[in-house]
């Protein structure tokens, strides 16, 4: 893209239309690129080589991106967060790499309900994407590595 990379383009688009939902579609499987796109406001990151059943953040990238995201969240002693049992269930499924639709199917609930729980999780964790929410939850010890 002339004059701007994907993250900068995403930032500009979000500034122009804050409610716009952006999904990065790329060939890069570098964790730094994924993190930059998520920080720019993208809701997911799909590799062009991905198949139909790939999650919004490719499973093979989750470990690296979660380690990087953990560096961006506050120390657990500086924040207290109370998630409901349902929000914790959704968060664990998110950490396992399930897409919203897959979470809804597994929980036997409507996709809109899951989306509401995800918004509440983001608000409570002060996160704007899944990687940040999961990284924050790991740092706060709401999630364990075994939950991934």
Q: What is the pLDDT of residues 7-41, one digit of tens each?
A: 888 889 988 998 888 888 888 877 777 777 888 88
Of all residues in the chain, the percent with pLDDT exceeding 70 is 77
Residue 12 near residue 4, CB atoms below 8 Å:
yes
Question: What is the tens place of the pLDDT at every residue in 56-81?
Answer: 666 777 766 666 665 555 554 545 67
Confidence of residue 104 (pLDDT cuts 50, 70, 90): very high
Task: Kindly list the domain boundaries of the chain, sorted by start residue.
Answer: 6-143
Sign of CA dihedral 76, 114, 42, 131: positive
- Does 115 have pLDDT greater than 90? yes
Calculate the average pLDDT of the chain: 81
Q: What is the pLDDT of residue 78?
A: 47
* CATH of region 6-143: 1.10.10.10
- pTM of this prediction? 0.51
């Amino acid at each position: 893209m002339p004059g701007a990379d994907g993250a900068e383009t995403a930032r500009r688009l979000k500034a122009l239309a804050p409610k716009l939902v952006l999904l990065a579609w790329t060939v890069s499987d570098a964790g730094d690129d994924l993190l930059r796109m998520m920080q720019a406001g993208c809701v997911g990151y799909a590799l062009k080589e991905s198949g139909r059943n790939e999650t919004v953040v490719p499973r093979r990238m989750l470990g690296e991106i979660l380690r990087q995201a953990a560096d961006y969240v506050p120390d657990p002693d500086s924040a207290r967060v109370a998630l409901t049992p349902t929000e914790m269930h959704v968060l664990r499924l998110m950490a396992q790499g399930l897409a919203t639709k897959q979470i809804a199917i597994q929980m036997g609930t409507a996709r809109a309900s899951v989306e509401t729980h995800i918004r509440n999780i983001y608000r409570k964790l002060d996160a704007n994407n899944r990687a940040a929410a999961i990284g924050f939850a790991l740092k706060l010890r709401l999630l364990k590595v075994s939950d991934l």
